[in-house]
Amino acid sequence: MHGHKKTLFGFAAVLVFLLSCRESSQLTDSQKASLMNEVRSMLRNYSDDIRSKGLLAEFAFLDSSADFFWVPPGSSSALSYNTVASMIRSNALLYQSVENSWDTLRIFPLTPDLAGYTGKLSSIMIANSGKVTKVSLVETGLVIRRRNGWKLLCGQTALAMGTP
């Protein structure tokens, strides 16, 4: 398991490095600030919608194209949209509430339609049985602007170090 965490965190470190190196110099400071606000708002709305509507609210924020992939906590490989969608549907039946909040969040505008982000989240999940699970997560990903708004395109979520 320890090597597994190294792999996921290595992926995150490489992605953050690439994002920071590739940040578009063609974007003005004003454009970058606007994009950062849009993406921050989308990520907060994502968390708010899950809190108020449940896990199925995630579908409004996921890019369903063939380019989508995600590495969830505990997984050693990227999962396709269909696999992630199946997992969301299954987990939605298990939890009465999920509350995610960003402790830290950095956004890296790359183009007018693509941005990277990385941050640390706190998550409180209450199962239908009443069991409460609290975890600290680290997430790194790319979001893409589509006709119907910003969508999660790819990335990974991992347990933060020190989380049981």
The whole-angstrom separation of Cα 102 and Cα 10 is 21
Average pLDDT over residues 138-144: 97
pLDDT on residue 47: 96
Q: What is the DSSP string of 102-149?
A: EEEEEEEEEETTEEEEEEEEEEEEEETTS-EEEEEEEEEEEEEEETTE
CB-CB contact of 158 with 5 (8 Å): yes
Strand-pair partners of 115: 109, 143
CA 133 to chain centre: 19
User: Mean pLDDT lowest for which of 1-10, 44-53, 86-95, 138-147?
Assistant: 1-10
Percentage of the chain beyond pLDDT 90 is: 80
User: pLDDT confidence of 4, banded at 50, 70, 90?
Assistant: very low
Q: What angle do CA 163, 139, 127 make, to 5 degrees?
A: 55
CATH class of domain segment(s) 2-159: alpha beta
Q: What is the DSSP string of 56-69?
A: GGGGGGB--STT-E
Domain ranges of the chain: 2-159
Question: pLDDT digits over 73-105, tens only?
Answer: 988 899 999 999 999 999 999 999 999 999 999
